[in-house]
Amino acid sequence: MSVVQANPGTDSGRSVTLPTRLRSRHLLSIADLSREEIFVILETARVMKEIGTRPIKKVPTLRGKTVVNLFFEPSTRTRTSFEVAEKRLSADSLNVAASTSSLVKGETLTDTARNLEAMAPDMIVVRHGSSGASHLLAGVAGSRIINAGDGMHEHPTQALLDAMTIRERKGSIEGRKVAIVGDLAHSRVLRSNVLLLKALGADVWVCGPATMWPSGMARFGVTATTSVDDAVRDADVVMMLRIQLERMHGHYFPSRREYFRLFGLTRARMDLAKEDAIVMHPGPLNRGVEIASDVADGPNSVILEQVSNGVAVRMAVLYLLAGIDEGTT
Amino acid sequence: MSQRTSNTGRRKLLKGGRVVDPKHGRDSVMDVLVEDGMIARVDADLPIDGAEIVEVPADFVVCPGLIDMHVHLREPGQEHKETVATGSASAAAGGFTGIACMPNTDPVNDHAGITELILRKATEAQVSRVYPIGAVSKGSKGEELAEIGELHSAGCVGISDDGHPVADALMMRRALEYSSMFDMPVINHCEDPSLKGDGSAHEGYYASVLGLRGIPAAAESVMVERDVSLSELTGGRVHIAHMSVRGSLRAVRSGKERDIGVTCEVTPHHLILTDEDLSYDTNYKMNPPLREAADREAMIEGLADGSIDVIATDHAPHHADEKAVEFDKAPFGIIGLETALPLILDRLVHTGRVSMRRLVELLAVNPARILGLEAGGLTVGGMADITILAPNSTTDIDAASFRSLGRNTPFDGWSLQGSVAATIVGGKAVYVNPGLPQAAVFGDGQP
């Protein structure tokens, strides 16, 4: 497979030959990846990104491979991103959405998986509202499972695309102050990012209302604060998490107005960060709730670059999990 | 019933074995004479006097029949999970001569007809005894008191809305006052529903890592504190079901210091596992959830110092299909009848945390006292309900071989030191461990 002639390289400048597959059959959690594997994915993604700049944005790498995008939660960005990644690699994509699936007829996730499995797909990309749903699938399916977000647990490709974006802008992640602000308790983006950023040596700060701190946070190895100013001060990266407005009903915060006043990312707050700090957001945005429009659309924002990198990272993950070189070259 | 009668007509002398019977201050090698299904004599070196001799191996423990006061039998209504017959057979195989079954059947055991049905099924099954627990409120909805007097007459030995906490403080107050007329305890599943929310695991670091919604320790302890206060107010007896956190234990201790009528139980799994053992395996999902190591340690200390009265399994069978789902969608609960004794012997007795005498208090003397049963001791003239333990034999837990219909246990495949050798109900061996050749002296165990 000549498509991926990945450049050797790691964050520390060591030169190694990039493997073309991962140890694990699945990508369920950042916790399952070694530091080296993270670099392999990020370097592979860099090569994949170039394909997206060509006039003909398609390579035959995954020709004949079937990938099912199994989405039990509404998702535009992630599902489309995977679909574009699959098409660029010439895989046959199949989208199954919850509203059209047997799940609405009472079928269990296990049975849905077994039925899909009977059609012998090579990979299943799954988004599900329950933590551990992708683990459950991995236990019953022979296909390779890619976790595209499971409940409040993890969203590994989001963290990988975030890391790719940070490295593009900042060179390396090691020693960088990254502030993650928002609903910490319910965020799978937070969990995956904390694991990945810490594995790459970042100084991770997390900030959110005290009602939205996960229990046992002291053991996550991050600096936690309820002061956005402290979190943002001298940060290299400010990552905002989407706040789910329905959380107001669980007494998590009183109003959008107060949330924005206490935790919203404004120009004034960004002035506390490093001058060249970047602003990130996994989307979709709640403008005027967690982030002011002039910040979201401002010069420091890399929100749309995250989206572009999402395709590249997902191409890399699909390619590496497919284990294409194994016995075929 | 005919077979039970014919077998109990004989005189049997259980000769040798360590008799542990704290109710009568016995703990030494003794013989037990069983006659017509009753205990005729208990003493050292009893004369044979024409009785059939059963030579009990010297390292076996002969104790009063053990009682599990917190079991879910699922009949009527959910017979695919468990029936009275399979549940009581499971109890026998676990060394329990008696079990108290919770009222959260479908329909709820909130009137005498259901109680009578359960008792009739238990009689037909001819294995371990079944003591029904009636509902506190009609339909366990927490709105109106059930007809507790009639439930008592029908054979209920306590009342509980188990699974549903008695959330309303006034309802709890009235239940305690009313049940005191029948000297029955109110067994409460203490958990503040609003604090529990839709949590599925103990609120702490491990739930956070797995992205599981938490059930805080305080969801339990706030209601235990309330119930201790209400017991003090009313003089009614409250029994705290499956206590799991140290805050609850503090409340119970403070109540006992003031001679308030509060008692409590803890499950084997809360004494052995912690939230660190959690994964997405739904056999680790139960309510209350597995707590922190410090809570487990506190529970073990509470057992030893007498603050905790009872070990009960909260045996909660579910069908495999119901558990083979996402963690947050799976029902709470694991089975416990056939794993309890090996776990307790291996993890608590052999480690020196709990003595054999204390084990018998926790599993026989105290549950019988709390439920007002004529059991819990090898009483001359009383029913010959006897459990024989083989503390030094190995048990390899094999869920597929359980007599329970449930397979939902996190302990499948565990190898433990300590076995049940035989379970004797009314003088008849209703279970004899087929994997233990020395136990064959007790018969074939086929009721």
Which residue of chain B has the CA closest to A186? B211
Distance from CA of A7 to the nearest CA of B (A): 34
Q: Do A108 and B211 touch (CB under 8 A)?
A: no
Residues B294 and B189: their CA atoms lie apart, in Å, by: 21
Pairing of strands B18-21, B61-64: parallel
Beta bridge partners of B266: B311
> Is the per-residue pLDDT at A72 higher than 80?
yes
For B208, the closest of A109, A110, A215 (CB atoms) is A215
Q: What does the longest C-alpha to C-alpha distance in chain B come to?
A: 67
**Could you tell me where in chain B the CATH 2.30.40.10 domains are found?**
2-62+381-442
Residues A187 and B104: their CA atoms lie apart, in Å, by: 36
Share of chain A above pLDDT 70, in %: 90
Query: DSSP 3-state assignment of A100?
Result: helix
**Could you tell me where in chain A the CATH 3.40.50.1370 domains are found?**
30-154+308-322, 156-302
pLDDT tens profile B67-99: 999 999 999 999 999 999 999 999 999 999 999
Please identify which residue in the block is written with the tokens 């039998």. B73
Q: Which of B202, B280, B285 to mutate to test the interface with A (most CBs of A within 10 A)?
A: B280
Measured CB to CB, residues of chain B less than 8 Å from chain A are 197, 203-214, 216, 279-280, 321, 324-329
Across the range B238-264, mean pLDDT stands at: 97
Across the range B317-343, mean pLDDT stands at: 97
pLDDT of A17? 59
> Is the per-residue pLDDT at A2 higher than 50?
no
Q: Do B325 and A109 touch (CB under 8 A)?
A: yes
Distance from CA of A201 to the nearest CA of B (A): 19
Which residue of chain B has the CA closest to A107? B325
> Is the per-residue pLDDT at A96 higher than 90?
no
User: How many CA atoms lie within 13 Å of B215's alpha carbon, on the beta-carbon side?
Assistant: 28
- Which strands form B129-132's sheet, in the order they lie side by side? B66-71, B96-101, B129-132
Q: Do B326 and A130 touch (CB under 8 A)?
A: yes
Distance from CA of A198 to the nearest CA of B (A): 14
pLDDT tens profile B14-29: 999 999 999 999 999 9
Q: Identify the H or E element spanning A49.
A: helix A35-51
Residues in B closer than 8 angstroms to A250, CB to CB, are 197
Burial B402-433 (b: 16+ CB within 10 A, else e): bbbbbbbbbbeebebbbbbbbbbbbbbbbbbb
Q: Which of A72, A131, A252 to mutate to test the interface with B (most CBs of B within 10 A)?
A: A131
Distance from CA of A96 to the nearest CA of B (A): 19
pLDDT of A106? 78
pLDDT of A4? 45
Residues in A closer than 8 angstroms to B213, CB to CB, are 152
Q: Do B326 and A154 touch (CB under 8 A)?
A: no
Q: Is the peptide bond before A214 cis (omega within 30 degrees of 0)?
A: no
Candidate from A63-77, A94-108, A121-135 with smallest mean pLDDT = A94-108
Distance from CA of A39 to the nearest CA of B (A): 23
For A135, the closest of B209, B214, B280 (CB atoms) is B280
- Mean of the per-residue pLDDT values of chain B: 96
Residues B261 and B238: their CA atoms lie apart, in Å, by: 6
Torsion sign (Cα): A94, A98, A99, A100: positive
Share of chain A above pLDDT 90, in %: 78
B309 is catalytic: no
Distance from CA of B217 to the nearest CA of A (A): 12
Spatial CA neighbour of A236 closest among A165, A285, A286, A296:
A165
Q: Do B326 and A152 touch (CB under 8 A)?
A: no
With bands split at pLDDT 50, 70 and 90, how would you rate the model's confidence at A18?
low
Residues in B closer than 8 angstroms to A133, CB to CB, are 326
With bands split at pLDDT 50, 70 and 90, how would you rate the model's confidence at A250?
confident
pLDDT of B357? 98
pLDDT of A227? 97
Residues B102 and B312: their CA atoms lie apart, in Å, by: 12
- Joined together, the tokens standing for residue B292 give 């922190």
Beta bridge partners of A180: A206, A239
Residue A20 to residues A23, A37, A39, A163, B354, Cα–Cα distance (Å): 10, 10, 12, 20, 56
A170 shares contact with chain B (CB less than 8 Å): no
Residue B363 to residues B26, B98, B264, B298, Cα–Cα distance (Å): 16, 10, 12, 19
Considering just the CA atoms, what is the radius of gyration of chain A in Å? 20
Annotated catalytic residue within B192, B227, B314, B346: B314
- Joined together, the tokens standing for residue B126 give 């001819």
Query: What is the CATH architecture assignment of B2-62+381-442?
Result: Roll (2.30)
- Which strands form A237-240's sheet, in the order they lie side by side? A223-225, A203-207, A177-181, A237-240, A278-280
pLDDT of A325? 52
Across the range B229-254, mean pLDDT stands at: 98
Pick the CATH number of B65-371 from 3.20.20.140, 3.10.180.10, 3.40.50.300, 3.30.365.10: 3.20.20.140
Residues in B closer than 8 angstroms to A132, CB to CB, are 210-212, 279-280, 326-327
pLDDT of A327? 41
pLDDT of B81? 97
Across the range B31-59, mean pLDDT stands at: 95
> Is the per-residue pLDDT at A246 higher than 90?
no
> Is the per-residue pLDDT at B9 higher than 80?
no
Across the range A261-266, mean pLDDT stands at: 97
Residues in B closer than 8 angstroms to A220, CB to CB, are 208
Q: Do A216 and B204 touch (CB under 8 A)?
A: yes
A98 shares contact with chain B (CB less than 8 Å): no
Contact A209, A269 (CB under 8 A): no
Which residue of chain A has the CA closest to B322? A108
- Joined together, the tokens standing for residue A195 give 């694991």
Residue A110 to residues A114, A322, B325, B329, Cα–Cα distance (Å): 6, 23, 7, 13
Fold of domain A156-302:
Rossmann fold (3.40.50)
Residues in B closer than 8 angstroms to A107, CB to CB, are none
User: How many CA atoms lie within 13 Å of B305's alpha carbon, on the beta-carbon side?
Assistant: 13
- Which strands form B186-188's sheet, in the order they lie side by side? B159-160, B186-188, B238-240, B262-266, B310-311
pLDDT tens profile B357-371: 999 999 999 999 999
Residues in A closer than 8 angstroms to B203, CB to CB, are 215
pLDDT of A7? 43
Give the list of residues 6+ apart from residue A2 with CB closer than 8 angstroms, or none: none
Across the range B397-426, mean pLDDT stands at: 98
Contact A1, A63 (CB under 8 A): no
Q: Do B328 and A150 touch (CB under 8 A)?
A: no
For B210, the closest of A131, A185, A217 (CB atoms) is A131
Contact B273, B410 (CB under 8 A): yes
Across the range A155-162, mean pLDDT stands at: 98
Q: Do A220 and B208 touch (CB under 8 A)?
A: yes
pLDDT of B219? 98
pLDDT of A328? 37
* DSSP state letters, A130-198: STTHHHHHHHH-SSEEEEEEETTTB-HHHHHHHHHHHHHHHS--TT-EEEEES--TT-HHHHHHHHHHH
Residues A233 and A240: their CA atoms lie apart, in Å, by: 14
pLDDT tens profile A163-187: 999 999 999 999 999 999 999 999 9
pLDDT of A13? 44
Torsion sign (Cα): A61, A117, A104, B324: negative
A247 shares contact with chain B (CB less than 8 Å): no
Give the list of residues 6+ apart from residue A205 with CB closer than 8 angstroms, or none: A177, A178, A179, A180, A222, A223, A224, A225, A230, A231, A235
> Is the per-residue pLDDT at A16 higher than 70?
no
pTM across the whole model: 0.92
Residues in A closer than 8 angstroms to B211, CB to CB, are 131-132, 150-154, 188, 191
For A131, the closest of B205, B216, B328 (CB atoms) is B328
Query: What is the CATH architecture assignment of A30-154+308-322?
Result: 3-Layer(aba) Sandwich (3.40)
Q: Do A131 and B325 touch (CB under 8 A)?
A: no
Q: Do B208 and A130 touch (CB under 8 A)?
A: no
Which residue of chain A has the CA closest to B279? A132
Q: Do B324 and A215 touch (CB under 8 A)?
A: no
**Could you tell me where in chain B the CATH 3.20.20.140 domains are found?**
65-371
Across the range A219-241, mean pLDDT stands at: 97
